[in-house]
Structure 1
Amino acid sequence: VLEVGSWCGRSAVVLGLAATKIGDTKVDCVDLFPSKSDWYENEDGSYSFRVDLNGDIKDGYHVQTVWKEPFERDIAPIYEKYESVLDAFNEAIENAGVSGIVSPFKSDSTIIGATLKSKYKLVFLDGDHSYDAVVQDIERAEPLLVSGGWICFDDAHSYYEGVDRAIHDKIVSSGKYDIYQQLTRKLFVARKK
């Protein structure tokens, strides 16, 4: 299983627990895992972050920023307890007992195919929701998706035009997928065998 966009590990825990039921399954989790010092306030009062990955600068929430109220309500409290989102992620994975199954990778999807070369039965995409980023995540993950494998898009057909447009352009219009199932804000698509 590959997850792109892990944040504090809630979905990674679910994927890890499911993997324990299947057996012989690992979960690779890719996220920028920003630290408290990576966040900055924009001129309009919203928030974004910038992560330095060994000299490679990656921006987060730069297209669709986080407004002050949700930042203070949902994100700032994380940093009252943890220096980094990775610390919160690791604690969640440890508490769930899936640390031997779930592996975090501090990166963006450029790591897919470069370092991560496994073949995946499920790819869960919940990273940057801009059109270009979702297209890149799809293009990087598809070569490692097994025949008949699934991609799950979080926040599909909800509030994110970039996610929806990328799904239409790269999935629906491609002819490579033959099963589509929408469950709440999750869209599952299966690759043709």
Structure 2
Amino acid sequence: MALVECSECAKIISDQSTSCPKCGFPTGEAGHTNNLNMVDKSGRVAEPQKNIRVQLLKIIAIIAIICLFYLIISSYFNYKEKAKQYGQKDFSEQVDSSYIPIPMLLTGAGEDGHYFLISHTTNNGIEEIKYMRKDNVFDSYGKMEIKCLDNEIRKYSANSLSGLQSANMGEWYKISPEADWTEQDIVNFVCGM
């Protein structure tokens, strides 16, 4: 039997009682100390004993969260370093030498990939090009028709060069440098040839 303090009137009572004899406050089932504070031999309210497993789990959770943040931050800086190196990388060695590098002056090659001209033909004042976008994740391909005098284009993208054969080019639209700098870089390159 232990002495506890009634949480309603603060009278010291037995932990076996079902209600406080002074105020009648229910203390729960006999043997349980719901809403009661433990009292030590000197009459002071004792702190409940902390569960060591709970504390250990909290410490492990904190360490896991710190490790997770470390991994996220280090992978971010690793990505930034790879992007920086990628921007300085010369992909011309990895690309068919017949492909002509397209300088990306507005977008910046490091941020938006390296572009290579695969083919260029002119038919009835329409420039038709096929190009490749090479980056450090995957390559993609594009087909673009350009009316240089009207500054209009239509385009199609695919994951493979053969996917451009069945290209549905869509409608013509005016190119705006503010809307898509990549398109403007390609148009400037093709129309300036």
Question: What TM-score does the superposition give when structure 1 sets the normalisation length?
Answer: 0.22
Greater C-alpha radius of gyration: 2
The answer to which structure has the higher helix fraction is: 1
